[in-house]
Structure 1
Amino acid sequence: MTADAFASFISDYWLTALAIFCLIGASAFFSGSETALTAASRSRMHTLETNGDPRAGVVGRLIDRRDRLIGALLIGNNLVNILASSLATSLLLGIFGDSGVAVATIAMTVLLVIFAEVLPKSWAISGPDRFALAVSKPVRIFVKIFGPLSSVVNWIVRKILGLFGVTLSAETSMLSAHEELRGAVDLLHREGSVIKADRDRLGGVLDLDELEVSDIMVHRTAMRMVHAEDSPEAVVRTILDSPHTRMPVWRGQTDNIIGVVHAKDLLRALADVGNDPARIDIAKIAQKPWFVPDTTNLKDQLNAFLRRKTHFAIVVDEYGEVEGLVTLEDILEEIVGEIADEHDIDMQGVRQEADGSVVVDGQVPIRDLNRALDWSLPDEEATTIAGLVIHESQIIPDERQAFTFHGKRFTVMKREKNRITRLRIKPLEDVVG
């Protein structure tokens, strides 16, 4: 080989090597951009765009066409990877002969995995929002150029998958907005970024659409009411002794609710008659009752409370029979947890035992127990813990009878007639231990 030929070979060698490393850099750009743009927070981008960052608007528009974006980036990534591998094979064949193919395969695999896949994707995932903003403008240009080709590729893919009964939609998310929010909150809680109380409150807001007033109402057997035919003195004493500011008034039979009396209205009426209870007509003081169906979901009921500027409603079934009552406070407690004030009566419904078991009153709602103990007992078929035991066992159990389901051991401690009034619940791992 002459000196000029050798110099030309060296020159071509370095040019080819430089081209290979430039292509690996381009591959790293495409890999990192794909990871960052798919992991970027849409809500964060919206906030930044609102605050005047134009790059965030570009990222948002790219994410809106995620299938077009990913398709274009994959096309670019594969083009540069294939070209880099071809150049490396050609170069190393000239140096090592036939064994150059094996050398090129090993070398390019190592280089691409480390520098074009793991490194850029790890960098991108460590700060996806920041990385996405940095690459947004060059990616937008690339997507504009290769977007039509990406759309064609995506169309072909959908047609092929359609032959196997798989339907893809670019516009429809697999998860609803509520499910995505709930999943994000649960993940942040597991990572320690969101405390349990905040997770429960956010979950309570998301659950309003899924719950009905029958799930949280005070059942008719637990309602505190006043009889319109009782003596005025007895009625006044009952209302003033109650921890509640509003009480239903019935006449004839308990299902016949004729009004709802507010403690403030009663005090005003007493002041008007010189504090003489005998001169009080409770039926005239009571406000007209508001009846709502037991199937009303909590979101609609909350909006109705706010719209009507009232806090109290009587719940009825499809036949118009009184099922219970629901208040604005009941709905708010589904979001923020138990609300107690100085007039509330502390009714012990859950007691933790030294052996790890929990003694629970039968009427304790399953949702409240799950929230308090971070359990996940199902509440689709029953509202209270006693109802869950009856539903699962398919019988009215006797005292000291025990059942095992949903990872817990349930023992009936007390039963009154057909009502389970007290249960002991112990996680199975504690039972085994």
Structure 2
Amino acid sequence: MTVETILAFFAEYGMTMLTVMALLFCSAFFSGSETALTAASRARMHTLESNGDSRATIVTALITRRDRLIGALLIGNNLVNILASSLTTSLFLGLFGNSGVAIATLAMTVLLVIFSEVLPKSWAIAAPDRFALVVAPIVRPFVVVVGPLSSLVNGLVRRMLALFGVSLSTETSMLTAHEELRGAVDFLHREGSVIKADRDRLGGVLDLGELEVSDIMVHRTSMRAINADDPPEVAVRAVLESPYTRMPVWRGSVDNIIGVVHAKDLLRALAEPEVEPQNLDIVRITQKPWFVPDTTNLKDQLNAFLRRKAHFAIVVDEYGEVQGLVTLEDILEEIVGDISDEHDIEIQGVRQEADGSIVVDGNVPIRDLNRALDWNLPDDEATTIAGLVIHESRTIPEERQAFTFYGKRFLVMKRVKNRITRLRIRPADDLAASAADMAV
């Protein structure tokens, strides 16, 4: 092929080839913009907008009307793709005759897939926020011009889908704000950007509205209380020996709570002249008890604690029967984990054995076990690990009975009356160890 032939070829078809290349570039721009703008973080854009970035303001405005944005970009993308394919077909028909249609189809498929779809979208998804900030000022005028046509198309699509009983809502999100936050935190934890402790704290905040007071309260069977009819010195000794600063006071029965005594009030009373433990009136220094329903969610209870500037409440059921007590510290521990000070009594509720199994007291809350061991045992139907075993087995198990559920093997080690007090837990696939448990 001579130089004159090449020059003649480009003179005749050069403009068409340049036009096709320009259209491929436009197609790549539309594809990358669609990916970047739909994947851009609204929270990140809000932060940049607050810092005065005008491009972030444009991005926020565009993704607020996501259906209009996507429709406009798709219209632009399809227009340039169709035009590029038509020009290429016309060019190849002139060069190769009728076989040019097949050659043009193959060539454009390869070019569009590689340079107009995979490449720009891969680039955009690698850094969606940065990509979106760059393309937003260019995309906005295009959306303004093509937006009305996009809205018309979207309206037509909605009416067609309505004929099949499908309703599209632009206002209702499939996920709540809490679910989106929880999913983002879990994803970032798996990616290694958020450590487990931070994930647990953020999850604890999000869970407050889903948990009830009954899920975290100190049950009445474990509640320390003072009998108002006991000798005064017995009550004083009970308060001073207790690791808690507040204790309920009852008379007649535990369901009849008449007050709450604070250790500071007791010490102030004992510091008064002529007051000894033998003649102290414990009822006189008690504070009025505050009763709360066991169905109150933790978010409301936390707000109530803060509003009343209180730290302690008695939990009752719908019949007014005392179920236990809850403190402000109990709720805070759902967020930050266990809070211990030098006066707390350390209770070994969870113990790691040499064989890899976990020995757990029956009254250990499921949530605490999940948080400590990064498990996912359900806590919807039961609060404690013993309650979970009873719920799943549909019976009160005997000692040495074993059950397998949720990927774990539960062996009842000790039972006192109708209460499971100790369990051994190991992975369900540890068959040799499970067989050894059953043989004991």
Give distance in 2, aligned partners of 1:273 and 1:52: 67
Give distance in 1, aligned partners of 2:129 and 2:279: 71
| Structure 2 counterpart of 1:48 | 48
Greater CA drift, 302-311 or 142-151: 142-151
Contact 1:356 1:430 in 2 (8 A): no
Give distance in 2, aligned partners of 1:349 and 1:242: 19
| Structure 2 counterpart of 1:410 | 410
Q: Please show how residues 190-205 of structure 1 align to structure 2 within 5 Å.
A: 190-205=190-205
Q: Deviations over 1:228-247 (max 9, x none)?
A: 11111111110011001110
Point out where structure 2 has 5 or more consecutive residues left out of the alignment. 434-440
Greater CA drift, 123-132 or 209-218: 123-132
Give distance in 2, aligned partners of 1:414 and 1:221: 18
Amino acid at match of 1:406: Y
Give distance in 1, aligned partners of 2:12 and 2:410: 79
1:298 and 2:275 are equivalent in the alignment: no
1:107 and 2:76 are equivalent in the alignment: no
Secondary structure of residue in 2 paired with 1:429: coil
Task: Give the CA deviation at 1:431.
Answer: 3.1
Change (3 A) 1:273 1:109: farther
Task: Give the CA deviation at 1:271.
Answer: 1.1
Greater CA drift, 164-173 or 295-304: 164-173
Give distance in 2, aligned partners of 1:432 and 1:193: 38
Q: Deviations over 1:313-356 (max 9, x none)?
A: 00000000000000001001111111111111010111111222
| Structure 2 counterpart of 1:350 | 350
| Structure 1 counterpart of 2:74 | 74
Secondary structure of residue in 2 paired with 1:18: helix
Change (3 A) 1:195 1:94: same
1:377 and 2:377 are equivalent in the alignment: yes
| Structure 2 counterpart of 1:262 | 262
Task: Give the CA deviation at 1:156.
Answer: 1.7
Secondary structure of residue in 1 paired with 2:165: coil
Point out where structure 1 has 5 or more consecutive residues left out of the alignment. none
Q: Please show how residues 228-307 of structure 1 align to structure 2 within 5 Å.
A: 228-273=228-273, 276-307=276-307
Greater CA drift, 259-268 or 152-161: 152-161
Task: Give the CA deviation at 1:275.
Answer: 6.0
Task: Give the CA deviation at 1:432.
Answer: 6.1
Give distance in 1, aligned partners of 2:298 and 2:12: 74
1:169 and 2:194 are equivalent in the alignment: no
Give distance in 1, aligned partners of 2:417 and 2:290: 33
Secondary structure of residue in 2 paired with 1:259: strand
Change (3 A) 1:429 1:274: farther
Give distance in 2, aligned partners of 1:27 and 1:120: 9
Q: Please show how residues 81-100 of structure 1 align to structure 2 within 5 Å.
A: 81-100=81-100
May I ask how many residue pairs the two structures share in their alignment? 431
Task: Give the CA deviation at 1:157.
Answer: 1.7
Q: Which runs of 4+ in 1 moved over 6 A?
A: 3-8
Give distance in 1, aligned partners of 2:209 and 2:163: 37
| Structure 2 counterpart of 1:63 | 63
Amino acid at match of 1:97: G
Q: Deviations over 1:185-215 (max 9, x none)?
A: 1010001000111111111111011000000
Give distance in 1, aligned partners of 2:135 and 2:275: 77
1:422 and 2:422 are equivalent in the alignment: yes
Task: Give the CA deviation at 1:164.
Answer: 2.3
| Structure 2 counterpart of 1:121 | 121
TM-score (norm 1): 0.97
| Structure 1 counterpart of 2:438 | none
Secondary structure of residue in 1 paired with 2:271: helix
Change (3 A) 1:282 1:333: same
The RMSD of aligned alpha carbons is 1.6
Amino acid at match of 1:189: H
Contact 1:414 1:421 in 2 (8 A): yes
Percent identity of equivalent pairs: 76
Task: Give the CA deviation at 1:278.
Answer: 2.3
Change (3 A) 1:20 1:316: same
Task: Give the CA deviation at 1:141.
Answer: 0.7
| Structure 2 counterpart of 1:361 | 361
Give distance in 2, aligned partners of 1:160 and 1:375: 46
Greater CA drift, 99-108 or 190-199: 99-108
Contact 1:273 1:279 in 2 (8 A): no
Give distance in 1, aligned partners of 2:12 and 2:208: 69
Task: Give the CA deviation at 1:274.
Answer: 5.5
Give distance in 2, aligned partners of 1:12 and 1:251: 106
Q: Deviations over 1:370-398 (max 9, x none)?
A: 11111111111111111111111111110
Give distance in 2, aligned partners of 1:377 and 1:157: 44
Task: Give the CA deviation at 1:62.
Answer: 0.9
Amino acid at match of 1:226: I
Amino acid at match of 2:115: F
Change (3 A) 1:127 1:4: closer
TM-score (norm 2): 0.95
Amino acid at match of 1:50: S
Task: Give the CA deviation at 1:88.
Answer: 0.7
Give distance in 2, aligned partners of 1:4 and 1:349: 91
Greater CA drift, 97-106 or 5-14: 5-14
Secondary structure of residue in 2 paired with 1:424: strand
Task: Give the CA deviation at 1:16.
Answer: 0.6
Secondary structure of residue in 2 paired with 1:411: strand
Give distance in 2, aligned partners of 1:170 and 1:86: 35
Give distance in 2, aligned partners of 1:380 and 1:190: 24
Contact 1:46 1:60 in 2 (8 A): yes
Give distance in 2, aligned partners of 1:311 and 1:349: 25
Change (3 A) 1:278 1:61: same
Task: Give the CA deviation at 1:5.
Answer: 11
Q: Deviations over 1:130-168 (max 9, x none)?
A: 111111111111111111111111112222222222221
Task: Give the CA deviation at 1:112.
Answer: 1.1
Greater CA drift, 409-418 or 10-19: 10-19
Secondary structure of residue in 1 paired with 2:137: helix
Amino acid at match of 2:168: L
